[in-house]
Structure 1
Amino acid sequence: MARNGIHHVTAIAGDARRNLDFYVNVLGLRLVKKTVNFDDPGTYHFYYGDEAGQPGTILTFFPWTHVAPGRLGVGETQETSFRVPERSLGWWTERFVQKGVRHEAPVTRFGETALPFRDPDGMRLALVAVPGAEAEPGWAGGDVPAEHAIRGFHGVSLMLDKAERTAAILTDVFGFAEVGKEGNVTRLKADAETGGIVDLNEVGGFLPGRPGGGTVHHVAFRAADDASQAEMVEKLVANHGLVTTEQKDRDYFRSVYFREPGGVLFEIATDEPGFAVDEPAEALGQALKLPRLLEPHRDRIEAVLPDVSGVRAAA
């Protein structure tokens, strides 16, 4: 797999139990890591993905029980989309009806059929029918049969006042290339099987987005290792006049962050070391994992975290 494209997407949710139930037991994703927000350890950080937790499949959440709803607007991720086999949209439509999932009629975008839907917090999502996706491995440890399982990200769409400078960063720094336009939307594609699409929706004059429940906090792009990440940081400074944060160790990847010109928070995350660094691959997501500095405070942290013990999460 090419080492570019989207690494993960991190969003904000409300109730932790409701979030866990929806993504594991309705969408059939694997809970690959249960940890805490390193900057706010009284809050969970859930990572959902494929069986191995590969980059390009990971959707993560900070669930805050009493979070206010966010507002979609300029400078925000408009929609996050997943890949599914081409013949699976009918199955998913029926499942959404049975499970009471808010969804819309299928639409065609850039020659692809997409099924838009919302999670319980109102986050905008879509399933995209991708020819050949049935040949890719699908996680079969939950309620969704492997033949219909989500195969990772298709991509994200960003709502921007102006798209030009954002597009320049995506092409120059992250290796995307423009592949088409439909109305106000420009599609960029990276050489990646999963997470290879970014759509830039230029909507000048809209209100800015407001962070909150159902909104995306940041989009992370892949770097193979520290050296690749450093090269990207140098390009951002030299070619775009943008400075990132210092590198932060997130245990499962190492990250730098910056606000791109359109207002969206971007991250550059290394593929290394991966989610199996602190627990066996077969046991991913089963135990609460804490970074080394927080481990001495485990009892206090566990005492304030919401109880999610009654929510079934397939191993």
Structure 2
Amino acid sequence: GDEGWTVADRRTTHSTTPVPDGRPVLFADDYGFHYGDVWYRARLTGATGLERVSLSYRTGADGLLMAWLDGVPLGSHQPDGAGDGKGTWTGTAAFELPEDLRAGLRRAAGSGAGEGSKGGEGDAGAVLSVLVRRTQHGQDAYREARGLTSAAFEGASPEVRWRIMGATAPDPVRGPLNNGGLYGERHGWHLPGYDDAGWERVDPAALPGGDRRQGVTWYRTTFRLDVPPEIDASVGLRLDGSPFRGTGAHRVQVFLNGWNLGTYVGGRTGAPHTFVLPNGILRTRAAANTLALAVLSGGGAPSGPGAVRLELLGGAAGGVPVKPVPSPGRRGG
């Protein structure tokens, strides 16, 4: 459940972004979440008749919003344009509820409403879940809001109670910008030593596509390099992109030995990209490496990362010895 999430009910903000009249503050920074992805959950009481949900949000570059109602995907949205020139992109996602979801709200209200209840207000409440990325700020706009800014409902006027969850305590070695608020990040799925024995095995040939579903899908693997000590080699990780280009939002967050190396942004273009794997973080001398990929997919995009492979970017005799960078794994518990 979301009992441990932060209640989002503030009425004042430290941001320069105005708060909509009569609405709670939903800006991520006001609740201590300043980087990465943030999750919101809203419990809607009296949502019978709900037809449309509109969600306004603000992000940094390559932003993305995905929403679900009672676990049913409503869709995804990406901001258009070049932003405001200071590192902020804004968008409003408007989602029409499918008829079967509307019918489910009516049934839930009917079964939960006792005698004398008004307009289905006795129902147990629907749950709206929203994922927003990315919440980083431009250098000159560090007080601009990030995350959701407001929500509007058509067809019903539910009572709304919001909660928010983002990144946990900063990584003591890799720093506060290494992790965001994805469930897998909060539970160490990107770290060496995480026990993934219970995860489903995936044929590498199936990686390019994967199922088409809205959400976050994690992939983990280990590999070993044995570069001779007299050779200085530069290695990259190449993501060829989804073969289903232009089908919707697609992001791949790349972690090597727990270090966040950046994000592949697919979807509209699906162009290949190579991430340089820095020696030191990359173990090249007869040692194991852990690669973790978090794939965010929405709007019909595949849940696979596309074709993934290592490639040699260059090599030379000699070079400067590189000491391994500390890359602690997941602690027990």
TM-score, structure 1 as length reference: 0.23
Higher RCO, Cα 8 Å, sep 6+: 1
TM-score, structure 2 as length reference: 0.22
Normalized per residue, the structure richer in helix is 1
- Which has the greater radius of gyration? 2
